[in-house]
Structure 1
C-alpha cells in the first residue's frame, strides 16, 4: 500500500514538473516572438495577390539571377552570403516563399504552379531586369520546372544545385523510397514550436562562424513564422513531385547541374552500408538524368560538399552563376 502511494506521488511530481516546463517554454516562446517582431527585414516588400512578400535584391542591370530555396524554413537566408559575394554588375534576387520568414502566407495553395506565379509577380513588381537565370537548390530545383514551363521567354538559364529528382521512385527501392520520403514529424514540430523547443532545435542550422552569424540569429528567431508554411509545403510535396515529373524539358535553355560529390554525405542517417551505396548510386543516376532536361547542359561536381553545397562550397555556385551570366550575356 505504501509502495502504491509513493508511485502515485512520484507520478504527480513528474506531471507537475512537465507542466511547469511546458509553461516556462510557452512563456519563453511568447517573449522570444515579441523580440523577433522587432527584427528589421533586410530586404523589401511587394504586394502579391493581397499579401506581402519579402525579397532581397542587389546589383543593377540584367540578367537577374533568381535564387529558389530548398524545403527549408530559412528562406532567402540560404543564399544571403552568396549574394554578398557576387558582383553587383548584374542583379541578384532571393526571396521568402509565402509564409516563410517575413513573407505573409496569403491564400494561394502550395502548388508548384502557384508558387511559380507568385515568384513571377514578385519579380515583375520589383522591376528585376529580364531575362532570369534560375538557381534552385533541392526542392527549389524542382520548383524551377514550373517557372520554366509557365514563363519560358523570361528564362535565359537554369542552375540546379543538388536538385531533387521528382520521379525518384524510378531509381529507389521501395525501402529506400519510403526512407527518403518520410518527411518531418509535423505534429511534434508544431507542438515544439508552441512551447519554445523548435527554436532551440534549429538554433545552429548554419555553420558556426562569423560568415553565418546573421543567419544563425534570424532564422531561429523567426522560425515560429516559417514552421507552419514549411510543413504545409511538405503536405503538398507528393503532388508537387508528380506534377514536376510531367515537365521534362527546358528545350535549349542552358542548364548547369551542380551535384554534391562527398561520398560520406549520408553517413549520419544511413548506417547500413548496402542501403548507403544504393542511395549514392541512385542519386548519381538521378543527377545525370537531370541533364536531359536541356539540349545545352553540363554537370559540375562539388567534390567536398554534402547536400547543402551553398554552405559547404559556396564558391562552386558563385563560379557557376558567373559563368552562366557570361554565357547568356553573349548569346
Structure 2
C-alpha cells in the first residue's frame, strides 16, 4: 500500500515538474521571439504578391550569381560567406524563400512552379542584372529546374551543388528510399518550437567558431518563423520532386555538377554498411544522370566534403562559379 502511495506521489511530482518546465519553455520562447523581432535584416525587404520577401544583394557587374538554398531553415545564410567573397567580382544575390527567416509566408502554394515565379518576380523587382548563373544546393537544385523551364533566356549557366535527384526512387531500394525520404518529425518539431526547445536544438547548425558566429546566432533566433515553412515544403516535397523529374533538359545552357566525394559522409545517417554502400553507389549514378540535363555539362568531384559543401569546401564552389563565368564569356 505504501509503495502505491509513494508511486503516486512521485508521479505527481514528476507531472508538476513537467508542467513547470513547459511553462518555463513557453515563456522563454515568447521572450526570445520578442527579441528576435527586433533583429534587423542583413538585406532588404521588397513586396512580392502582397507579402515581403528578404534578399541580400552584394557586388556589381555581371552576370549575377543567384543562390538557391536547399531544404533548410537557414535560408540565405547558407551562402553568406561565399557571397561575401564572390561579390568582389560579380553581383551576387541570395534570398529567403517565403516563410523562411525574414521573408513573410504569403499566400502562394509551395509548388516548384510558384517558388520559381516568386524568385523571378523578386529578381525583376529588384532590377537584378541579367543574365543569371544559378547555384542550387540539394533541394535547391531541384527547384532550379522550374526556373530553367520557365525563364531559360535569363540564364547564363547553372552550378548544382550536391544536388538532390528528384527521381531518386529509380535508384534506391524500398528500404533505403524510406530512410532517405523520412523527413523531419513534424509533430515533435512543432511542439519543440512552441516550448523553446527547437531553438536550442538548432543553435549549432553551422560549424562552431567565430567564422560562423553570425549564422549560429541568427538561424536559431528566427527558427520559429522558418519552422512552419520548412515543414510545409516537406509536405510538398514528393509533388515537387515528381514534377521536377519531368523537366529533363536544360538545352545547351552550361552546367557544372559538384558532387561530394567523402565516402564517410553517410556514417552518421545510415548505420547498415550494406545500405550505406548502396547509397554511395546510387548517389554516384544520380549525380552522373544530372549531367544529361545539358549538352554542355561537366562533373566536379569534391573530396573531403559531405552534403553541406558550402560549409565543408566553399572554395570549390567559388572556383566552380568563377569557371562557369569564364565558360559563359567564351560561349558568347
Question: Quick check: TM above 0.5?
Answer: yes
Aligned pairs (5 A) from 1:1-331: 1-330=1-330, 331=332
- RMSD (Å) for aligned C-alpha atoms: 0.7
- TM, length-normalised to structure 2: 0.99
> In the aligned structure 2, how far is the partner of 1:64 from the partner of 1:263?
33
Tell me the secondary structure at the aligned position of residue 65 of structure 1.
strand
Task: Measure how far apart 1:315 and its partner are.
Answer: 0.2
> In the aligned structure 2, how far is the partner of 1:161 from the partner of 1:77?
16
1:82-115 deviations in whole A, cap 9, x for unaligned? 0111143321000000000000000000000000
> In the aligned structure 1, how far is the partner of 2:111 from the partner of 2:128?
24
- Could you tell me which runs of 5 or more consecutive residues in structure 2 were left unpaired when the two chains were aligned: none
Task: Measure how far apart 1:322 and its partner are.
Answer: 0.9
Task: Measure how far apart 1:6 and its partner are.
Answer: 1.0
> In the aligned structure 2, how far is the partner of 1:136 from the partner of 1:99?
19
- TM, length-normalised to structure 1: 0.99
> In the aligned structure 1, how far is the partner of 2:256 from the partner of 2:46?
30
Task: Measure how far apart 1:177 and its partner are.
Answer: 0.4
1:213-264 deviations in whole A, cap 9, x for unaligned? 1000000000000000000000000000000000000000000000001000
Task: Measure how far apart 1:209 and its partner are.
Answer: 1.8
Tell me the secondary structure at the aligned position of residue 298 of structure 2.
strand
1:108-137 deviations in whole A, cap 9, x for unaligned? 000000000000000001111000110000
> In the aligned structure 1, how far is the partner of 2:64 from the partner of 2:46?
17
> In the aligned structure 2, how far is the partner of 1:279 from the partner of 1:71?
19
Task: Measure how far apart 1:7 and its partner are.
Answer: 1.0
1:175-229 deviations in whole A, cap 9, x for unaligned? 0001100100000000000000000000100000221110000000000000000
- Structure 1 segments, 4+ long, off by >6 Å, are none
- Could you tell me which runs of 5 or more consecutive residues in structure 1 were left unpaired when the two chains were aligned: none
1:16-62 deviations in whole A, cap 9, x for unaligned? 00000000000111111111111110001111100000000011122
> In the aligned structure 2, how far is the partner of 1:210 from the partner of 1:322?
27
Task: Measure how far apart 1:270 and its partner are.
Answer: 1.1
> In the aligned structure 2, how far is the partner of 1:282 from the partner of 1:232?
27
Tell me, yes or no, if the aligned pair for 2:58 and 2:87 is still in contact at 8 Å.
no
Tell me the secondary structure at the aligned position of residue 236 of structure 1.
helix
> In the aligned structure 2, how far is the partner of 1:214 from the partner of 1:54?
17
Task: Measure how far apart 1:329 and its partner are.
Answer: 2.5
Tell me the secondary structure at the aligned position of residue 290 of structure 2.
helix
